[in-house]
């Protein structure tokens, strides 16, 4: 090791460099930007919290008073005595029909597009583009479609503006979402898994059934849950299909129907009748809480499922 005494010039140079490395730049613009972004994010959180507080707050006294009766009583004209049962019946019916109709059809279409179809051909690309466009069509348009096809044309099957027609309409609405999320789940299946199946002489259907679908199941399930949440929360298509907002004599599958979002819509604007303790808006808030619980539960489950299965996959 050379033992040379650093010259004065060298020492000064080192000091200058050390000083510049330690200098803390007053990066004003950077701080401002970071603060703005943080503020935007925080504000978004605040908006969410405010919304939830508003709904829960306004519903609390009402729900405390009504209790579980709120869920089992049909609709009526006095806020103190109404419930959302009529709407629950319709919403549950719609949910069941979506599960029976839209989910299998969506998964089947996704299987075709990912496993069977020739991705290079124009026709396949057209189908894919079409599905993406369908996903962006406003919900109210699906209502128009459902009104003509399910309420009018298929009247013999659906008996007109009924829960069945509503369920079918919502099935068409969520179908593109089911297809797209299922396709993503299927695409994530490693090719080696399919190769292994083909390599022992399995047919295409056998490979799909025994290897692709089981592996993609969590992702498909996530998509299913998300589309169910969507189907339960939409009101606009139901208005067009003919959901009742007034008096509903009975809840059946083959008569007029309503759903929880429709009740919220109607009660939000309805004036409080004289003499009643609670207002319709309180009832609307109550219905809103029920709907939020349902929808948020589904969304949260989907997120949880997706995260959990992502970890399992990556861990493998």
Binding status of residue 227 toward other proteins by CB under 8 A: no
Long-range pairs, 210-218, Cβ under 8 A, ≥24:
212/111, 212/115, 212/186, 213/111, 215/189, 215/190, 216/182, 216/185, 216/186, 216/188, 216/189, 217/185, 218/185, 218/305, 218/306, 218/308, 218/309
* Of the candidate residues 74, 79, 223, 261, the single one contacting other proteins (CB under 8 A): 261
The single residue among 7, 118, 156, 250 that binds other proteins, judged by CB under 8 A, is 118
Alpha carbon of residue 256 to chain centroid = 26
309 part of the interface to other proteins, by CB under 8 A: no
19 binds other proteins (CB under 8 A): no
Taking CB under 8 A as the criterion, which residues in 184-203 touch other proteins?
190, 192-193, 195-203
The span of 6-14, 60-68, 78-86, 208-216 binding other proteins (CB under 8 A) equals 208-216
Question: Does 16 help bind other proteins (rule: CB under 8 A)?
Answer: no
Q: Cα-flanking dihedrals φ and ψ of residue 136, to 5°?
A: -100, 0
Binder of other proteins out of 12, 44, 78, 252 (CB under 8 A):
44
Among 43, 157, 188, 217, binds other proteins (CB under 8 A): 43
How far is Cα 185 from Cα 221, in angstroms, rounded to an integer?
9
What are 187's two structure tokens? 């695409």
Which residues are CB-contacts of 232 (< 8 A; sequence separation ≥ 6)? 91, 94, 95, 260, 261, 291, 294, 295, 298
Which residues, 6+ apart, have CB-to-CB distance to 195 below 8 Å? Answer: none
Nearest to 284 by CA among 253, 250, 261: 261
Query: Does 56 participate in binding other proteins (rule CB under 8 A)?
Result: no
Q: In the range 132-191, which residues lie near other proteins by CB under 8 A? A: 132-134, 136-141, 144-145, 147-149, 172, 175-176, 179, 190
Chain residues 230-249 in contact with other proteins, contact rule CB under 8 A: 232-236, 239-240, 242, 245
**Residue 298 binding other proteins, by CB under 8 A:** yes
Give the separation between CA 153 and CA 146, rounded to whole angstroms.
10
Query: From the list 206, 247, 249, 277, which residue makes contact with other proteins (rule: CB under 8 A)?
Result: 206
**How many chain residues bind other proteins (CB under 8 A)?**
106
Does 50 interact with other proteins (rule: CB under 8 A)?
A: yes
In the region spanning residues 70 to 99, those forming contacts with other proteins, defined by CB under 8 A, are none
Residue 177 beta carbon to other proteins: minimum distance, rounded to whole angstroms:
12
Contact region for other proteins (CB under 8 A) — 27-35, 78-86, 87-95, 162-170? 27-35
Spatial distance between the Cα atoms of 234 and 231, rounded to a whole number of angstroms: 6
Tokens of 117: 């179809």
- Tracing tokens 């490693």 back to the chain, one arrives at 190
Scanning 12-20, 43-51, 62-70, 88-96 for contacts with other proteins by CB under 8 A, the matching segment is: 43-51
User: 253 to each of 94, 96, 99, 102, 290, how far by Cα in Å?
Assistant: 10, 12, 16, 18, 22
Token digits of residue 183: 């396709």
Q: Pick the binder of other proteins from 299, 305, 309, 310 (CB under 8 A).
A: 299
Measured from the CB of residue 26, what is the shortest distance to other proteins in angstroms?
11
> In this complex, which beta carbon is closest to other proteins, that of residue 176 or of residue 223?
176
């Amino acid at each position: 090791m050379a033992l040379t005494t650093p010259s004065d010039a060298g020492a000064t140079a080192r000091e200058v460099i050390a000083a510049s490395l330690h200098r803390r730049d007053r990066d004003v613009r950077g701080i401002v930007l970071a603060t703005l972004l943080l503020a935007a994010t925080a504000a978004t959180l605040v908006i969410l919290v405010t919304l939830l507080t508003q709904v829960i707050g306004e519903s609390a006294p009402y729900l405390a008073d009504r209790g579980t009766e709120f869920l089992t009583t049909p609709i009526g004209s006095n806020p103190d005595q109404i419930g959302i049962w009529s709407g629950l019946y319709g919403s549950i019916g719609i949910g069941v029909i979506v599960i029976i109709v839209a989910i299998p059809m969506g998964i089947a279409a996704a299987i075709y597009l990912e496993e069977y179809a020739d991705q290079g051909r124009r026709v396949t690309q057209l189908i894919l583009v079409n599905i993406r466009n369908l996903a962006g069509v406003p919900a109210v348009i699906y209502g128009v479609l459902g009104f003509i096809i399910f309420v009018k044309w298929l009247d013999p099957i659906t008996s007109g503006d009924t829960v069945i027609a509503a369920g079918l309409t919502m099935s068409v609405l969520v179908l593109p979402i089911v297809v797209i999320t299922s396709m993503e789940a299927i695409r994530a299946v490693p090719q080696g898994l399919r190769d292994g199946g083909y390599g022992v002489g399995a047919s295409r259907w056998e490979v799909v059934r025994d290897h692709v679908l089981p592996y993609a199941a969590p992702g498909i399930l996530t998509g299913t849950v998300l589309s169910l949440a969507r189907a339960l929360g939409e009101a606009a298509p139901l208005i067009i299909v003919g959901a009742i907002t007034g008096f509903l004599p009975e809840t059946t599958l083959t008569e007029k129907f309503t759903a929880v979002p429709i009740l919220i819509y109607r009660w939000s604007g309805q004036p409080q009748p004289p003499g009643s303790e609670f207002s319709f808006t309180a009832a609307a808030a109550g219905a809103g809480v029920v709907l939020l619980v349902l929808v948020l539960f589904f969304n949260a489950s989907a997120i949880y499922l997706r995260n959990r299965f992502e970890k399992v996959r990556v861990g493998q």
